[in-house]
Amino acid sequence: MSAPSTPSPAPAGRTRAAVMEDVAARAGVSAMTVSRVLNTPEKVRPQTRARVLAAMRELDYRPNSAARVLATGRSGVLGVVSFDTTLYGPASMLYGIEQAARGAEYTVTIASLRTLTRGAIEEGVDRLRSQSVDGVIVIAPHLSAAEGLRRLPPDLPLVAVGAADDLPVPVAAVDHRAGAVRATRHLLSLGHRTVHHIAGPMDWVDSDARVAGWRHALAEAGREAPDPLPGDWSARSGYEQGRVLAADPEVTAVFAANDPMALGLLRALREAGRDVPGEVSVAGFDDVPEAPFFAPPLTSVRQPFGEVGRLAFQMLLERIDGAEGVPRRTVEPELVVRESTAARAD
Amino acid sequence: MSAPSTPSPAPAGRTRAAVMEDVAARAGVSAMTVSRVLNTPEKVRPQTRARVLAAMRELDYRPNSAARVLATGRSGVLGVVSFDTTLYGPASMLYGIEQAARGAEYTVTIASLRTLTRGAIEEGVDRLRSQSVDGVIVIAPHLSAAEGLRRLPPDLPLVAVGAADDLPVPVAAVDHRAGAVRATRHLLSLGHRTVHHIAGPMDWVDSDARVAGWRHALAEAGREAPDPLPGDWSARSGYEQGRVLAADPEVTAVFAANDPMALGLLRALREAGRDVPGEVSVAGFDDVPEAPFFAPPLTSVRQPFGEVGRLAFQMLLERIDGAEGVPRRTVEPELVVRESTAARAD
DNA sequence: GGGCTCAATGTTAACGCTAACACAAGCTAG
DNA sequence: CTAGCTTGTGTTAGCGTTAACATTGAGCCC
């Protein structure tokens, strides 16, 4: 349509994209030599290589990956099956994976799950598999996901992120339990008699592990564990459970299983006129970028999402290269103390 | 290694995955008929079709997409080039795109940009193109991205999300300007003499449009526009600029260009002892899920990210199907009034 | 009942690339 | 000086699928 104004190297008027044969003809070599320049350049005489590279540039040649895949059986693509990539955690992990993958010349294809119905994971993996991915990373930290993971094709290289630990698949995860222990110990060390807990949804592995860590820290200090209150990760659920806790004058320390719930909790406490951290201390989990700006700035357990993403990718590479076994590697989270926790007033 | 315990339909011991020819042999037909069962089932006699489908199931056959791509030239894959998929906006759009794509039997491949250096977009598009994507959606709402978008191959179906409006590419966007106008008018209608603004980074199209909308609303009311304060989308920058604003007793209404900055601003005002909304009204932009739980709950402009993602996908489909021209379609954001804005105290 | 159409299926040849082997020329070693 | 190795390149075949054309047989019309 428009006149070619850019100094594009692609000859205008050309109708079909250049293929290897075109490059070969232009450089006066065979297609195979062109292929070698791409894959094993050291096996081509520098002079020839230069001619071929020049021809590629002149024709704006791009290798056709579909043909490559067909010929080699390797795609250089890895699939990520994830539940709700809108959440900060999954989004960050996806990002970490993508960055790591790029460094290793891999491309990432995604399959988001809308729901976690039975079979959803298998369907996601299937969609990716038919795209001939070299391997798959599953981000689905649900207990019910375990079932789906069990019945996956055993020949497909696969790594799960943050999954249950009794699975027959390799897992990369944050040590949620250790994080919960740290947060709870911190609150106890401030003189609180016990620590209440707003938990994540029942179905999540993360929730489970955090409840376990919280329980453990209370037990080792010889304290009773009050019933945890169930939330669903949303600020709203934190708010609702927070209203319950705010009404109970015995409550002086609360550990929320993630930051949005902590935010909701803070609002509930504020509305009930209970000062944080004067009357009640609050700790969260995730350490989202906004946590330092909550009212008050939130003490939270920082999850190294990006790092887990990189770890998962690395483990997947090992699988693809033929590693056996079902390792489980974890990354330690770190407690970041801010102003929402303080010594118990007497 | 382990004994086959699952009732997997794939015959154990089989070494190579089944291909079309295998299915054909088993069903007693030619490969072409199998292909037809997959692509144009109505052209195959029901009886034959059933036999073929049965054979597929028995052999756990999965079509090889690489071969399909090579033969047809269509991949059923679309690429998304995005800047920082960790941010709520891009993550939500990506999700919207993926969901829409799934409905149309498309798969999504991503290329995240680490930086927005010159050429980054082209490089991202190139990476995707060599994966033979059918089309590309670029999420890069930066002014500097414009340059990159200009020099893209004209034959590749492409849609930009939220890009500048003087570009030679189709654009799907939120009408940021209209959103800013609404927020500013709302604040003025509450009796504030003027509205201050914490802007996004200079380089973003979104920032620009929001500044323009804010300016317009002030101008139409005959008010002076104070100098906008530059932020970088982060809560921290909102906090820092907030300290400046909090120190100025003339300031009674602030419109922050996104919610995290509004959150930082709220903290700064709180620390300075200025009541919100008693002394100062605050409005944000994005309406993140946590906004209702800020202190106080934040009035904000809701961005329909998912909708924009769907719109972009739909526009891309039209491109792929041969549509011409460079349409620009926008979605109107909506103002959600909460407790952070109130009538000016006298 | 011969020629026609139409529906269902088969055959052949790509698609663009690379693995595997083949070959030529130059060099080394005995 | 010849067998044997090395280096650089070419040839052939095949990866799994579909487009395009070919074939077969049934049903129909005049």
pLDDT tens digits for range B73-105: 989 999 999 988 888 888 889 999 999 998 888
Per-residue model confidence as pLDDT tens digits over A49-102: 999 999 999 999 999 999 999 999 999 999 999 988 888 888 889 999 999 998
Rounded percentage of chain B residues whose pLDDT exceeds 90: 71
> Which residues in chain B (151-170) have CB-CB distances under 8 A to chain A?
151, 153-154, 168
Taking CB atoms and an 8 Å limit, are B110 and A109 in contact across chains? yes
Q: For the segment B20-48, what is each residue's pLDDT rounded down to a tens digit?
A: 999 999 999 999 999 999 999 999 999 99
Per DSSP, A137 falls in state E
Least confident interval from A28-42, A123-137, A271-285, B306-320: A123-137
Whole-prediction pTM:
0.87
Count contacts between A and B (CB, < 8 Å): 158
Nearest beta carbon to residue B293 from set A263, A293, A324: A263
Look at residue A4 and tell me whether its pLDDT is greater than 70: no
Q: Which residues of B touch A130 (CB under 8 A)?
A: 62-63, 65
- CA A294, CA B298: separation in Å to the nearest integer? 13
User: Which of the two residues, B1 and A273, has the higher pLDDT score?
Assistant: A273
pLDDT at A42: 93
Distance from CA of B193 to the nearest CA of A (A): 28
Give yes or no for a contact between A187 and A343, defined as CB atoms under 8 angstroms apart. Answer: no
Q: Find the Å distance, CA of residue A49 to C1' of nucleotide D22.
A: 45
pLDDT at A5 over 90: no
Given pLDDT bands bounded at 50, 70 and 90, which one contains residue B168?
confident
* Count of CB atoms situated within 10 Å of the CB of A115: 8
Cα→Cα distances B312→A137, B74, B163, Å: 27, 20, 12
Which of B64, B92, B132 is the closest to A132 by Cβ?
A: B64
- Average pLDDT along chain B: 90
- What share of chain A has pLDDT > 70, as a percent? 95
pLDDT value of residue A346: 67
Among A268, A338, A267, A275, smallest CA distance to A301 is for A338
The per-residue pLDDT for range A279-317, each reduced to its tens digit, is 999 999 999 999 999 999 999 999 999 899 999 999 999
- The arithmetic mean of pLDDT across residues B279-294, rounded, is 97
> What pLDDT was estimated at residue B346?
67
Q: Per DSSP, what are the bridge partners of residue A136?
A: A79, A158
Q: What is the mean pLDDT of residues B316-332?
A: 91
What pLDDT is attached to residue B122? Answer: 86
Task: State residue A162's pLDDT score.
Answer: 82
List CB contacts of A294: < 8 A, sequence separation 6 or more: A259, A262, A263, A266, A340, B263, B267, B295
Cβ–Cβ < 8 Å for A172, A161: yes
Of the two residues A203 and B312, the one the predictor is more confident about is B312
User: SS3 of B300, please?
Assistant: strand
Residues of A in contact with B235 (CB under 8 A): 289-290, 292-293
* Per-residue pLDDT band at B11 (split at 50, 70, 90): very low
- A238: nearest CA partner in chain B: B293
User: What pLDDT, on the 0 to 100 scale, is given for residue A203?
Assistant: 87
Contact B65 A111 (CB under 8 A): no
Confirm whether any atom of chain C, the nucleic acid strand, is less than 7 Å from CB of A38: yes
In degrees, rounded to 5, the angle at the alpha carbon of residue B230 between the alpha carbons of residues B224 and B235 is 120
Q: Do A263 and B294 touch (CB under 8 A)?
A: yes
| pLDDT digit string, tens, across residues A211-253 | 999 999 999 999 999 999 999 999 999 999 999 999 999 999 9
**Does residue B10 carry a pLDDT above 80?**
no
Q: According to the model, what pLDDT value does residue B187 have?
A: 98
Please determine, for residue A277, whether its predicted confidence score (pLDDT) is greater than 50. yes
Secondary structure tally for chain B: helices H, strands E: 12, 12
The whole-angstrom distance between residue A20's C-alpha and the CA centroid of its chain comes to 38
pLDDT band of B344, cuts 50, 70, 90 = confident
pLDDT band for A8, please (50, 70, 90 cuts): very low
Distance CA B327, CA B309 (A): 16
CB B75 within 7 Å, strand C: no
pLDDT band at B8 (very low <50, low <70, confident <90, very high): very low
Give the Cα separation of A71 and A89 in Å (integer): 37
